[in-house]
């Protein structure tokens, strides 16, 4: 698809799924379409050419309201955040502003008057926060990547619960100019994507010193290690917490084994140093930074804050300057102790979140369970570290489990390189990816031909929006015909199956006319083998493109 076509498909999907609760402000479709058309032909100078992205609604986009999850706080910026300007200059197209835990305070994704987001895998479970909408927008296939913020884990926990990559760069690597502060000295802009390669592309564009941001830093010396020979830290068993989630514990052990198989050496380290630093974030005076960010607004609008958010932030008024210095001294001691631990390892490998919670569980214990979610995340910015959350399997309850690689400052690129080595190929070696759109779909009468051939399902997805679908006449069992069309058409629902090379020829030989095997372009841009239809069979066929898929046609017939 060219960028303009991609924009049309993006808004079609948003209409299909509904704007709420993912989006707070959606940019009008025609504005995004015009930006896409204005890009012109692809240029090497635009590394993010035509890519779509979402922006957490505490990051400014010129002319679009910023709310930080609080309607009474709303203002319309006259200038975009520096990081947004860089992305747009590189050819990326913003789609809208996404939901969040109010004032970026929380790891749950439920503390918003605009609604509570859920994991895309099960609506009963939370999405994670505070960058809830940004994560769900990517996980739902609505945008190519998104921006969040991460002060205590908000760019990592939602990535874990939605099977995404979540990059929290080194503090100060990405400008926070144009970002509503949570803890100004700790805040980071984070990146959500489906894979490490995309996160790396966005990071390369977005990073850089910004004199308008007092906490921006010139890029330091890059930390690196061999991606196939490294030492990774693992906490001792007594300091590992999964809060009753034994499925997560087993998946963490599997992740350790995969890193060892890649060439890593697991090294025990004293996690107590980092845990104690994490405890300081909300039990210490850094909560007062959250109050400082909105002090005047909170004083004038005490009823505008979400109840849990108000309880956390307003209680900071009792903290003193003495409390602040005591905590700073404690943190400095922990920082020195952590340096000794770093002598043993290149990076640490941690669970991103020990457990996943339902909306009902969070409602019953909003602060205690939020604290659990921060057990492995809260210390990272305080100790000036970089972190990368990646998928690492699925819990027994169906919610994804993730691990986080935490490295020293300026190890962002090395974390991405190491993690990329673990990403599985789209299709296993020795198999052919095949898109099916009709009688071979899951639950349909010819699906057994795939399973008998030893095939397995890779994904359910859609074609690019350049196809027409027809109900063929006289076929038994009833079958559709998929036809490519250069203009018009739509995205059609398909399943992609991995068929063993050893049985692929026999499977193809059994396909009766007018069907044949050709090549299909998926919505992601990937090209795979697929069922196609010979043109002569369309003379007596019924076009059903407008329904979007074969199963929708069958359900209407019934």
Residue by residue, DSSP assigns 344-408 as T-SEEEEES-S---BHHHHHHSHHHHHHHHTTTTTTTTTTTEEEEEEEEEE-TTS-EEEEEEEEE
Assess contact for 58 and 102: CB atoms under 8 A. Answer: no
Beta strand 347-351 with 52-56 is unpaired
Active-site annotation holder among 119, 130, 338, 521 = 130
Q: Is 154 a catalytic residue?
A: yes
Assess contact for 341 and 407: CB atoms under 8 A. Answer: no
Kindly state the tokens that stand for 304.
Answer: 């505008």
Helix-then-strand count for the chain, H and E: 17, 21
Kindly state the tokens that stand for 33.
Answer: 């379409």
Kindly state the tokens that stand for 210.
Answer: 């910004």
**Distance (Å, rounded) from C-alpha 480 to C-alpha 435?**
13
Which residues in 462-500 are b (16+ Cβ under 10 Å) and which e?
bbbbbbbbbbbeebeebbbbbbbeeeebbbbbbbbbbbe
- Dihedral (C-alpha) 153, 157, 160, 161: value to the nearest 10 degrees? -170
Q: Is 130 a catalytic residue?
A: yes
Q: Which positions ≥6 away from 176 have C-beta within 8 Å?
A: 81, 149, 184, 187, 188, 189, 213, 215, 216
**Distance (Å, rounded) from C-alpha 481 to C-alpha 472?**
6
Active-site annotation holder among 56, 86, 97, 241 = 56
**Distance (Å, rounded) from C-alpha 520 to C-alpha 526?**
8
**Distance (Å, rounded) from C-alpha 223 to C-alpha 454?**
45
User: Starting from the edge strand earliest in sequence, which strands make up the sheet with 385-394, in order?
Assistant: 23-26, 93-98, 52-56, 145-149, 189-193, 165-168, 385-394, 400-408, 347-351, 230-235, 264-269
Catalytic residues: 56, 130, 154
């Amino acid at each position: 698809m060219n960028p303009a076509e991609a924009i049309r498909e993006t808004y079609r999907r948003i209409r299909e799924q509904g704007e709420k609760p993912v989006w707070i402000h959606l940019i009008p479709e025609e504005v995004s379409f015009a930006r896409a058309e204005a890009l012109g032909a692809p240029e090497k100078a635009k590394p993010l050419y035509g890519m779509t992205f979402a922006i957490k609604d505490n990051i400014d986009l010129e002319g679009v309201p910023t709310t930080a999850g609080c309607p009474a706080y709303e203002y319309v910026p006259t200038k975009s955040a520096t990081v947004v300007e860089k992305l747009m200059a590189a050819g990326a197209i913003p789609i809208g502003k996404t939901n969040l835990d109010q004032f970026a305070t929380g790891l749950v994704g439920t503390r918003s008057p605009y609604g509570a987001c859920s994991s895309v895998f099960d609506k009963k479970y939370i999405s994670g926060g505070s960058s809830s909408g940004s994560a769900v927008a990517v996980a739902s296939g609505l945008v190519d990547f998104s921006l969040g913020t991460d002060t205590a884990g908000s760019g990592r926990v939602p990535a874990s619960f939605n099977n995404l990559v979540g990059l929290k760069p080194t503090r100060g690597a990405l400008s926070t100019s144009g970002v509503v502060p949570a803890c100004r000295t700790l805040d980071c802009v984070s990146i959500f994507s489906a894979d490490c390669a995309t996160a790396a592309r966005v990071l390369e564009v977005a990073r850089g010193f910004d004199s308008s941001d007092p906490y921006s830093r010139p890029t330091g010396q890059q930390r690196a290690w061999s991606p196939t020979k490294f030492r990774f830290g693992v906490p001792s068993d007594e300091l590992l917490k999964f809060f009753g989630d034994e499925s997560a514990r087993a998946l963490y052990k599997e992740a350790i084994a995969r890193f060892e198989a890649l060439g890593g050496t697991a090294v025990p380290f004293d996690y107590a140093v980092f845990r104690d630093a994490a405890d300081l974030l909300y039990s210490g005076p850094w909560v007062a930074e959250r109050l400082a960010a909105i002090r005047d607004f909170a004083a004038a609008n005490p009823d505008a804050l979400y109840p849990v958010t108000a309880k956390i932030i307003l209680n900071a008024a009792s903290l003193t300057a003495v409390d602040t210095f005591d905590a700073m001294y404690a943190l400095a001691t922990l920082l020195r102790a952590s340096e000794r631990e770093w002598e043993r390892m290149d990076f640490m490998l941690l669970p991103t979140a020990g457990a996943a919670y339902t909306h009902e569980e969070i409602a019953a214990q909003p602060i205690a369970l939020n604290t659990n979610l921060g057990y492995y995340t809260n210390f990272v910015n305080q100790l000036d570290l970089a972190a990368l959350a990646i998928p690492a399997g699925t819990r027994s309850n169906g919610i994804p489990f993730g691990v986080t690689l935490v490295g020293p400052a300026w190890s962002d690129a090395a974390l991405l390189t190491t993690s990329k080595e673990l990403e599985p190929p789209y299709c296993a070696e020795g198999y052919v990816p095949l898109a099916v759109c009709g009688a071979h779909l899951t639950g349909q009468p010819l699906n057994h031909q795939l399973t008998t051939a030893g095939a397995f399902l890779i994904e359910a997805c859609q074609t690019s929006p350049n196809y027409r679908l027809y109900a063929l006449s006289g076929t038994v069992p009833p079958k559709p015909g998929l036809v490519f069309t250069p203009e018009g058409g739509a995205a059609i629902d398909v399943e992609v199956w991995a068929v063993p090379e050893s049985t692929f020829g026999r499977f193809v030989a059994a396909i009766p006319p007018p069907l044949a095997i050709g090549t299909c372009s998926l919505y992601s841009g990937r090209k795979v083998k697929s069922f196609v239809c010979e043109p002569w069979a369309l003379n007596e066929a019924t076009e059903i493109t407008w329904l979007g898929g074969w199963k929708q046609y069958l359900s209407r017939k019934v």
